[in-house]
Each structure stands twice: as structure tokens, then as C-alpha cells.
Structure 1
Amino acid sequence: MPGFNSDFEDTVALVTGSSRGIGAATARLLGERGADVVVNYNSSADAADTVVDYIRTAEGEGDAIAIQADVRVRDDVDAMVAEAESTFGTVDVLVNNANMSFPFKPFLEQSWAEFSAKFQDELRAAYNCTQATAPAMADQGYGRIVYVSSEAARNPQPTFSAHTTAKAGLNGLARAVATELGGEGIIANVVSPGLVRTEASEPYRAEFDDEVRAQTPLGRIAEPEDAARAIAVFASDDAQFVTGTYTPVNGGLTVE
């Protein structure tokens, strides 16, 4: 079990969907700060290997492995956690980040199948990974779970109804986990980025970039590293008495 400090020496972190974007930035940052990192990917093997290589050659002492798993599939998740535990001994930190696609369509033009697929995938992935890692965290009396949400959950935009609904459900799951598992030494928090400059946001970013930048007090669009640094806070012992919270990462676009 890690000691109480803000770095990640002797800490094992599993970051889902960490071959690209926010997940990759988070995996790199945790590795730089000393964590052993499980870089999860579904189809981007080369990108995942690049993240692993970065961590292994960074100045920090962290190690890394890449593991392919579709986090919507429980057998995949169980196998991934077993491999992580076999390699590193435990999983201390879980970052639920894997991106689930959704249709950019007006609500009234979506079928139930289109609308429901997003929140089923989103919640199934977080459910699978939390259930697979939390028992061992409870056994050791220590665990950090971070759920990566979206500001769309609180500030809906046209054509984002499936995304908004899914992330709102994810926020609720995080609160439930924080409430039920706090007594086991597990803390769970939500980090909620606004618009971030990633490959996943490319299809709609051009439409919103200028407007968001103009309305953001810090005057720019977020980079993946901005979200990663917030995630790292809640993955560390700096947040040892903080659980069940929701933290926007949007440069002040919405002020809590």
C-alpha cells in the first residue's frame, strides 16, 4: 500500500482508454511521478505501446505494461486486472476514462438503440472496472477511483443528449461508490473536463472552439494534460479525505 504522499512511488495505476487523449496524458503523468501504470487500450496497440515506452524512459521510476481489453466486456476486464496483479501485485488506483462513442444527432431524431447504447456502454465499462478492482482495494484498505466525466452532464448542448445522459449516470455511480466503499478505505471522485483538444473531440470542436475560448476566463481550450493533472490530485494521497466530489476542469467556463 502506498505511503501518504503526493507522488506515486510504490503505486499501481490502471488507466482505461489510455492509448490516446486524456487517458494517455494521465498514464504518462502518473508514470513520470513514479507509478507503475497499466495502459489499457481496445484497438490502438501501437499508440498504447508508445505510452508504455514513454513511461519506461521518463525520469520517474515508474514501469508500464499495455493490456488490450474491451472494458464493456467483463471477461476482458477480469483478465486485464488479473494480468495487472500478476505483473505489479495490486491495483491501487483506477482511472475510468475509456471513451464511448455516441451519435451527434438531435434528440428527436435518435432511435432508442442509438440513444441507449452510449449510457449502457459508459456505465457497463465503469461498473465492470470498479467491481473488478474494488475487492482487492478493500482487502488492503486502500483505493483511489477517479471517474472521468464531462461538463456536458451539467451543461447540455444540442445533439449531445446521449452523452449528457451517460455522463450524468456516471456521476451518480461515483457518488454511490464513494458512499458505499468509503469505509473500506476507497475514495471515489469525478473529474469533469469541458472541451479538451483531443482526437475524440475533433468532430465537434471546430463548431465550439472559438465560442468556448471567448467565454473561458483562462482564455484557451483545455489540453489533455490539464485534465490529467486534476486526475492525479484525486489519485493521490493529497485527496485522502475527499470523496464523492465533482470537479470541473474547464478554465472557469462554469464557476462552482
Structure 2
Amino acid sequence: MKLAEQIVLVTGGGRGLGHSIVAAFAAQGARVVINYRTSAASAQALAADYGSKQAVAVQADVTDAAQVAELLAEAAAHFGSPVTTVVNNALADFSFNGDARSDAVGITWEEFDAQFSGSVRSALNTTQQALPGMRELGFGRIINIGTNLFQNPVVPYHDYTSAKAALLALTRTLAADLGQHNIAVNMVSGGLLRTTDASAATPEEVFDFIAAATPLGKVTTPAEFADAVLFFASPWARSVTGQNLVVDGGLVMN
């Protein structure tokens, strides 16, 4: 299915990386569902930029299955067809500030639980709720947002990194299960992005250090990362599933 024919749900789409992913899909003519939890003003403003025929902002906490069901129903009603493509981008509250992180001695299970819920539970919820529509259409694309930290844990964000590693496992098991329905499931993993709300607390010298360590000599931007998300939704990736594409300027090489 061409990008312009798709109806794309971007969770956490009202700000940060999600905003860039929404813009990338909209630029290709896709219709976009901008999910938000608390960022109502930015999500609604973004939807207004594209007009109601191409975008709609819908509030839902994607860790809540009932709210996700309502989200998918509202999206289908608005556009007159089920969602074809889900980008699981929403991030549980987290700040990429290595100096303020919880270390191995002090971290609590509650911190792990929050990240697992934000990454794994939310992806399971959106997949399960979108699945009937995708099966009806005979087409589906699920793209999970990961991290390069589980391959290169330069800063031990124990809770966040563990949750994203679990999400990669879910990506692959879902790919094996759903391929029979022409539903592809992949992951795009980045490093620190310059700049999102989550990375705003990162000191400038950390960005400079990462840039110097990459073959391309720069820190990836949200817009550059969003381009890779488009690939997995596009016809050029029609035979790709269960994969994890690292987009970080070559800092991590598989």
C-alpha cells in the first residue's frame, strides 16, 4: 500500500519525535491520527496545520486498553476506514539526563514497571486493537520505536533500556505471528536525538561527544529519524519484517 493511501496512528504524536514522524507521513499524503495524552494544545495545533481531511488529534492513554479501543474507533470513524499503520512512539515520562538517573543501587521496580507499561503494554494494546482492521484490509504495518542503548549502554538507564529490549522481543514475536495476515512488524532504534523534549536536559557536551564518535560526525535529528520510520511503512519494505534498524549516524553498527 502506498504511503498516500495509509491511515497512520502515531502515539505520542503531539510533540518531540512524534511531531516529526507525523510531519513526515503527512508530507507523503498519508492521513494521520495524532495521539496524545497530555499535550492537547500542540497535538491539536499540528492537526489544524493539515486540516481535518488529513489529520485528527485524539487523546488517549495508550497504556489503557479501553482507551486505545476508543482511539482506534474514533480514528476509523473520522477517516471512514481502519488504521493501516501504527507507530508506537509514545514514551512514558522520562528524561535523558545521565546525572539524574537512578543507579543500580537505588532504582526501584516501580521505575521499571512504568517503562515496561509505557513501551510494551502500550504496543500490545495498539496492536491488538488495530489488528481486526488490518486483517480486514489484508494489510498492516506496525513500527516500534526503540533505542541503541541495549547494544551500546553508554549511560545505564536500567529501566528505559530494559523496556525497549523487551519491546524488540515483542516486535519479533509479533512479526512471526502476524506475517500470515500481511502485517509487518519492525523497529527503528535511535540514539540521543538533537533535540526532543526528552533530550532537552542533556548537556551540550554530551551531544558534542556523541557527534565526534559517529562516522557521520553529527547527532541524528528527529526529522532524519522519521525518514527511517517512513521506510518501514513504504512499499520498498514490503518484504521486511522482524527487523531492528539502528539510526544513529553509525555510532552502533550491527
* Pairing 1:138–2:149 present: no
Aligned partners of 1:39 and 1:64 also within 8 Å? yes
Number of residue pairs matched by the alignment: 247
Distance 1:221 1:100 in 2: 23
- Which residue number corresponds to residue 80 of structure 1? 71
Distance 1:14 1:102 in 2: 22
Following superposition of structure 1 onto structure 2, how do residues 200-219 of structure 1 map, counting pairs within 5 Å? 200-206=198-204, 208-219=206-217
Cα deviations by residue, 1:149-186 (Å, 9 ceiling, x for unpaired): 11112221334011110000000000011000001010
Aligned partners of 1:56 and 1:63 also within 8 Å? yes
Distance 2:28 2:203 in 1: 31
Gaps of 5+ in 1: none
Distance 1:184 1:228 in 2: 26
| Paired amino acid for 2:237 | A
| Paired amino acid for 1:99 | L
Following superposition of structure 1 onto structure 2, how do residues 40-79 of structure 1 map, counting pairs within 5 Å? 40-56=35-51, 63-79=54-70
- Which residue number corresponds to residue 186 of structure 2? 189
* Pairing 1:98–2:71 present: no
TM-score, normalised relative to structure 1: 0.92
Distance 1:198 1:117 in 2: 20
Following superposition of structure 1 onto structure 2, how do residues 95-174 of structure 1 map, counting pairs within 5 Å? 95-102=87-94, 104-174=101-171
Gaps of 5+ in 2: 96-100
Aligned partners of 1:40 and 1:67 also within 8 Å? yes
Match of 1:253 among 247, 251, 254: 251
Q: Runs of at least 4 residues of structure 1 off by over 4 A?
A: none
TM-score, normalised relative to structure 2: 0.93
Distance 1:229 1:141 in 2: 25
Aligned partners of 1:32 and 1:55 also within 8 Å? no
SS in 1 for 2:78: helix
| Paired amino acid for 1:105 | S
- Matched residues, percent identical? 37
Aligned partners of 1:17 and 1:41 also within 8 Å? yes
